[in-house]
Homo-oligomer: A and B are copies of this chain.
Amino acid sequence: MVARYERIADELRSEIIAGAHPVGSQLPSEAELAGRFGAARGTVRQAMAVLAAEGLVGSRQGARRIVLGRTRSQSFAELHSFAQWARANGYRFGGQVITSRRRPASGAESARLASEEVLEVLRLRSLEDEPVLLERTVYAGWVAPAVERLPAGCESVTEALYESIGLVFAYGEHLIDAVPAGTRDAGLLGVRRGSPLLRQRRVTTTHEGRPVESSDDRYRAGSVAFSIRNSIGANPLVRQAGDLRLGPREHMFES
């Protein structure tokens, strides 16, 4: 059952991508669209909120909505699964577990994951047959058994955990910065020591807010980039900062 506002958003998105509404042009008014789609104005507004969140259109009180762009793609929601992202974009990808061991949680980890014992897994993932990502993931104790049962060459941990124990990675918090490659990072990723890596630290929770994992992912420079769109005013697209630990002289930009 697809919601009506989703279908309206889909149709308008298609029109924008097809060029029926060029970038910079005005969209029809909400009243016109409501008439055209036989929907209430509120439903049309819900559809427009979707397009605004995608960065396709912008709005301001009193003036018609404007087309801001015509590119469309996967959502950041898939970001916590490397495999799903790579597959959706048609890339060849692979991965292998380097090490996997249980150990007591550090102070910060036990606070973040609400867990005394954790499972630390180091995975190396490749894109188009080149190593691009080193994933150092720490799982909360309650998911450790399910993770250990996974085959070593498991393509998508996210999907496998959903199928085995119905686990959904619902919310995530991400901290993105740049770090130099350490000796081990450099060896595994095939770069020189000290060369730039794009680091993404994240904490993931279930729908209920229960912490699942905390991860430190490092990408070889030049292999991936993160994309964000923002706007001021209009929709409350405001997001918010995290409680991952920062260095003493490190500051944070928030999204």
Chain B residue contacts of A63, Cβ below 8 A: 207
Residue pair B208, A24 in contact (C-beta under 8 Å): yes
Q: What chain B residues lie within 8 Å of A161 (beta carbons)?
A: none
Each complex incorporates copies of this chain amounting to: 2
Q: How far is the CA of A195 from the CA of B49 in the complex (A)?
A: 41
* Interface residues of A, count at CB 8 A: 85
Q: A77-B237, A176-B228, A231-B77 are known contacts. Are A209 and B68 too (CB-CB below 8 A)?
A: yes
Contact among B24, B53, B232 for A237, CB-based, below 8 A: B53
CB within 8 Å of B: which A48-79 residues: 49-50, 53-56, 58, 60, 63, 66-69, 71-77, 79
Q: Given contacts A76-B255, A171-B68, are A250 and B230 in contact (CB under 8 A)?
A: no
> With an 8 A cutoff between CB atoms, is A242 at the interface?
yes
How close is A6's CB to chain B, nearest CB, in angstroms?
Answer: 9
Q: Are B79 and A221 in contact (CB under 8 A)?
A: no
- Given A50-B236, A239-B75, the answer on whether A249 and B222 have CB atoms closer than 8 Å is yes
Check A226 against B250 for contact (C-beta < 8 Å): no
Residues in A72-90 with C-beta less than 8 Å from chain B = 72-77, 79-80, 85, 89
**CB-based contact B229/A255 at 8 Å:** yes
24 contacts between A and B (CB under 8 A): A58-B171, A63-B207, A68-B171, A72-B240, A73-B254, A75-B240, A76-B239, A77-B232, A77-B237, A127-B251, A171-B231, A173-B228, A175-B227, A176-B228, A177-B224, A178-B196, A180-B221, A194-B194, A194-B195, A225-B252, A226-B254, A227-B241, A229-B240, A229-B242
